[in-house]
Amino acid sequence: MILSKKRAGFSMKFIDLHVHSLYSSGVDTPSRLHHHAKELKIQIGICDGIRHRGFSGTEIHASTKKDLIQKLKNVNRGDLDYCIVHGGDYKINRLAAGDGRVDIIAHPDILKNGSGIDAVIAKMAAENGVAIEINLGNIIASRGTYRVNMIKNIKTNLMLKRKYGFDLVATTGAKTRYDLRAGDGVYELLKELGLTDDEIRDAMAEVPAKILKHG
């Protein structure tokens, strides 16, 4: 059952699929993360690359296209619910967008050099059902020019999403329980970034639910 919170008639469901425990790059146990998520009335998926209680995924870090191809072959989709590829390199982003085994491209932006998504990648992501991440944790933690560039890149991807129809998915990228966010806070941040209520609903709940169903 997906938990929800109401805000002025708007459904505040939030499924955060980009969370790490101490079994990967995080510091908290899976049980502690799930306990805190329950207090916040959200659901989470832990992407450590191993099966946990609840939703479990993996985040692939690849240095080259060949490396990504090999690591995708090694993902056990029978035991995991979804697959994230850590982007930020144009060639990695493009390869991931064209591979139906990938559910989410995380950290796609190349910061001052652009959002990491162009028309070609946008079309490929739409055709293959690959979602592009809006990592709210990065925005919250960033400052100055770094934050300005990050917000600019998200808005670029939002415009591309509206033109080409790929999915956006909101995450926190949480590595501790304190990085997790309740649905109302996520809603406010996405609203500030220029998403409509329908786009927010999709990014917070509908797209994550579709990914989990597909997996």
User: What ranges do the domains of the chain cover?
Assistant: 12-214
Closest CA to 198 of 16, 61, 11: 11
Q: Which CATH class is domain 12-214?
A: alpha beta
Contact 17, 45 (CB under 8 A): yes
Q: The dihedral of CA 54, 6, 19, 215: what is its sign? A: positive
Q: The pTM is what?
A: 0.93
State whether residue 3 is helix, strand or coil: coil
Each residue's pLDDT tens digit in the chain (215 positions)? 343 444 544 558 999 999 999 999 999 999 999 999 999 999 999 999 999 999 999 999 999 999 999 999 999 888 999 999 999 999 999 999 999 999 999 999 987 789 999 999 999 999 999 999 999 999 999 999 999 999 999 999 999 999 999 999 999 999 999 999 999 999 999 999 999 999 999 999 999 999 999 86
Query: How far apart are the C-alpha atoms of 203 and 166, rounded to whole Å?
Result: 11
